[in-house]
A and B are shown apart, each in its own frame.
Chain A
């Protein structure tokens, strides 16, 4: 069997063992080792349980084994609950016994530093030597609610209800809170996994496992650190494309002080959280801000079909909440469905004259189940409706329970999503309970309902989006770029000079405006006449950083005569203001015509690798931080989406008499930067500021760039 297949089988056995050994069990109630034994027994596990304890003879009425090696029968899964100091001894024996799957619950490894790091390395080596796959250490454990397995190999208090949501969490403590939260809302799980330090099996392995799991339809992932960003993105893209299963994720650690210490614009704007946000979006992962938001979206996707489009019908017995929901829906990018004539007619006939039969449909405060029934059924029948929001507020005559049952009965006959919001808490609880038990997404706030629908709709759109392949430019000169970068690294430089930076970009056929370093008036004149007027001239000296401050820059030079004058003026200015400066000459460059200034950049992220940034120049980047990021390499659609994402995009598209800019040239630059960032890992950060984008068809030019290595 290949290693990959063996690892897959090992992982399968963690969730579907026929026999489990709890290694390090005790009979002291209230301890993790004891509770694990009891939880497995209480969960109605369909296989055989072997407690292994050096001291006890019987635990919970079961014969106990001193060592795992003393068990005569084969064992599929070992759950290690020994203190971390002896886990290696236990795992070694598991290996000798031929056990290939393990969960290491024990804490006291990498997370505590020092000896813990060594201990983690030790168990990883043993696992490698014996071909063991393990979850943990430092985790809560694993739960499989499949009725044919029923395994609670964790120290969570309760076995959750059976469901179609798979939950993966790096935090064990969060798991127990989530289980409690979910229980109150009758949210069921297919698999529930706390993977702790992920010393062996990580979130990527588990994502692939849940992708193959027929019981799982929606995957939730809580992460504290991403160890392999590109791997995570690839897994998510593959899983979503092949299975259509949505992946929702919370990645904690949104704030970061480190970004401010970066050396470039791109570095300072691209904090790890911004990059994570961009990477998740790129991979199709739905990022959630908190647990509530995650479950709001998860239940929508797990319980109801995805909406075909974004047209919703709102059925409410209260005007105010109807308006609130309408506002939320529009803000979330949804549309209010325009009812067909048939729907209008049916509603008119069936509802009181005081009812509002237009969307949002107000069936009036005294509405009972019959009015809800006719309105929901007709809305679901209407071809111009993609989903229905049912809102209820509890008046004295509102038969909450009947209405809840009516929603379930009517909705189940149609293949369109129905979301509900029974507003309030105490009186509506009975109705909410019915809805939740029947797998109808319920939201206390209509705004949450709208947001969940919008996310489900966006996911549907994401599934339908066609991907176009990566563009690889053949005209680039990678060896030349590498040579420049390596030469600078050899000299222990941390950044390239402007000339070197431009040469690297030129090697990748980015539109670098040609320039020449003139060491005499004659050279300056000759080059100016070659490239054509107007030109720009500026002093080049390793001792002068701020060229304008010393009168070292003159713009818009229109004739040979002016070139001569400018040359003398610059030399004279510099000699007066910085007489000791070492002068290399005067750079002459064609002056770029007016255009829209944009900033492009590269940054290398610890988790995701090379990242490309796009933003509009000036205040858009300086004050509004109106920038977008994508992990490289990316395709043309992604490059276009980077531009569309920024608020300043209207300037490129042409507004208020301005002409449309050359988006094709800009896209080309982004794609070439993407390729450069992948081909040349020496580049830590890169800024092109500005790139001047001319009118459509006239291209784009860059004159200044900075590369940090």
Chain B
């Protein structure tokens, strides 16, 4: 899966969880500061990424990811391993 595809699917998952338009999600958007995620939604985001990409992530590390671009890199790591 190339980076663009991962990015688009990450944004799709974010849009679903945070109820924001995909067009409003920039690559460097911070889940909390820019998109208004609260602590519950941060956990929901991890679950949504796992489901979207069919991977099982280290939850503690996943929760440290704060931006869209970091999420793309983090998920790519799982997809490439």
Spell out A's residues near B (CB within 8 Å): 26, 28, 53-56, 82-83, 85-86, 89-90
Contacts of A89 in B (CB 8 A): 30, 33
A573 to B38, CA, bound (A): 82
B35 and A85 contact, CB distance less than 8 A: no
Contact indicator per residue, chain B 27-50, by CB within 8 Å of chain A (1) or not (0): 000101111101100000000000
Contacts of A85 in B (CB 8 A): 32, 66
Sample of 7 more A-B contacts, CB < 8 Å, known A55-B35, A85-B32, A86-B33: A26-B38, A55-B18, A55-B36, A82-B32, A83-B32, A86-B30, A89-B33
Nearest opposing residue in chain B for A87, CB measure: B33
27 A-B pairs (CB sep. < 8 Å) = A26-B36, A26-B38, A28-B38, A53-B36, A54-B32, A54-B33, A54-B34, A54-B35, A54-B36, A55-B18, A55-B20, A55-B35, A55-B36, A56-B36, A82-B32, A82-B33, A83-B32, A83-B39, A85-B32, A85-B66, A86-B30, A86-B32, A86-B33, A86-B66, A89-B30, A89-B33, A90-B33
Nearest opposing residue in chain B for A53, CB measure: B36
Per the 8 Å Cβ criterion, residues 42-72 of B in contact with A are 66
A341 to B39, CA, bound (A): 76
State the majority secondary structure of interface residues on A.
loop
Contacts of B38 in A (CB 8 A): 26, 28
Specify which of A53, A83, A90 lies most central, judged by the most chain B CB atoms within 10 Å of its CB: A83
A56 to B20, CA, bound (A): 11
- B28: min CB distance to chain A, Å: 11
A83 to B34, CA, bound (A): 13
A56 to B36, CA, bound (A): 8
Nearest opposing residue in chain A for B18, CB measure: A55
A26 to B18, CA, bound (A): 14
A54 to B30, CA, bound (A): 10
A90 to B32, CA, bound (A): 11
Contacts of B34 in A (CB 8 A): 54
Contacts of B32 in A (CB 8 A): 54, 82-83, 85-86
- B59: min CB distance to chain A, Å: 16
Per the 8 Å Cβ criterion, residues 1-26 of B in contact with A are 18, 20
Spell out B's residues near A (CB within 8 Å): 18, 20, 30, 32-36, 38-39, 66
Nearest opposing residue in chain A for B33, CB measure: A86
Contacts of B18 in A (CB 8 A): 55
Nearest opposing residue in chain B for A26, CB measure: B38
Contacts of A53 in B (CB 8 A): 36
A82 to B38, CA, bound (A): 10
- B31: min CB distance to chain A, Å: 9
A698 to B36, CA, bound (A): 79
- B10: min CB distance to chain A, Å: 18
Which 7 A-B pairs give the minimum distances between C-beta atoms? A55-B36, A54-B36, A86-B33, A89-B33, A86-B32, A54-B34, A83-B32
Contacts of A90 in B (CB 8 A): 33
A89 to B39, CA, bound (A): 17
Contacts of A26 in B (CB 8 A): 36, 38
A54 to B14, CA, bound (A): 14
Contacts of B35 in A (CB 8 A): 54-55
Contacts of A28 in B (CB 8 A): 38
A89 to B30, CA, bound (A): 9
- A431: min CB distance to chain B, Å: 50
Contacts of B20 in A (CB 8 A): 55
A485 to B20, CA, bound (A): 69
Specify which of B33, B35, B36, B66 lies most central, judged by the most chain A CB atoms within 10 Å of its CB: B33
A575 to B30, CA, bound (A): 81
A516 to B35, CA, bound (A): 81
- B26: min CB distance to chain A, Å: 12
- B63: min CB distance to chain A, Å: 10
Contacts of A82 in B (CB 8 A): 32-33
Specify which of B18, B20, B32, B34 lies most central, judged by the most chain A CB atoms within 10 Å of its CB: B32
Nearest opposing residue in chain A for B35, CB measure: A54
- B11: min CB distance to chain A, Å: 16
A54 to B66, CA, bound (A): 15
A28 to B41, CA, bound (A): 14
- A261: min CB distance to chain B, Å: 38
Contacts of A56 in B (CB 8 A): 36
- B24: min CB distance to chain A, Å: 10
A83 to B32, CA, bound (A): 8
Contacts of B33 in A (CB 8 A): 54, 82, 86, 89-90
Nearest opposing residue in chain B for A83, CB measure: B32
- A119: min CB distance to chain B, Å: 12
Nearest opposing residue in chain A for B41, CB measure: A55
Contacts of B30 in A (CB 8 A): 86, 89
A53 to B33, CA, bound (A): 8
- B30: min CB distance to chain A, Å: 6
Contacts of A86 in B (CB 8 A): 30, 32-33, 66
A54 to B32, CA, bound (A): 8
Nearest opposing residue in chain B for A56, CB measure: B36
Specify which of A53, A55, A86 lies most central, judged by the most chain B CB atoms within 10 Å of its CB: A55
A236 to B59, CA, bound (A): 50
- A185: min CB distance to chain B, Å: 38
Contacts of A55 in B (CB 8 A): 18, 20, 35-36
- B40: min CB distance to chain A, Å: 10
A54 to B25, CA, bound (A): 12
A54 to B34, CA, bound (A): 5
Nearest opposing residue in chain A for B66, CB measure: A85
- B48: min CB distance to chain A, Å: 17
Contacts of B36 in A (CB 8 A): 26, 53-56
A660 to B34, CA, bound (A): 78
A405 to B66, CA, bound (A): 63
- B79: min CB distance to chain A, Å: 25
A384 to B20, CA, bound (A): 78
A28 to B40, CA, bound (A): 13
Specify which of A28, A53, A54, A56 lies most central, judged by the most chain B CB atoms within 10 Å of its CB: A54
A56 to B19, CA, bound (A): 11
A90 to B30, CA, bound (A): 11
- B62: min CB distance to chain A, Å: 14
A199 to B11, CA, bound (A): 37
A82 to B33, CA, bound (A): 8
A54 to B20, CA, bound (A): 11
A86 to B39, CA, bound (A): 13
Nearest opposing residue in chain B for A86, CB measure: B33
Nearest opposing residue in chain A for B20, CB measure: A55
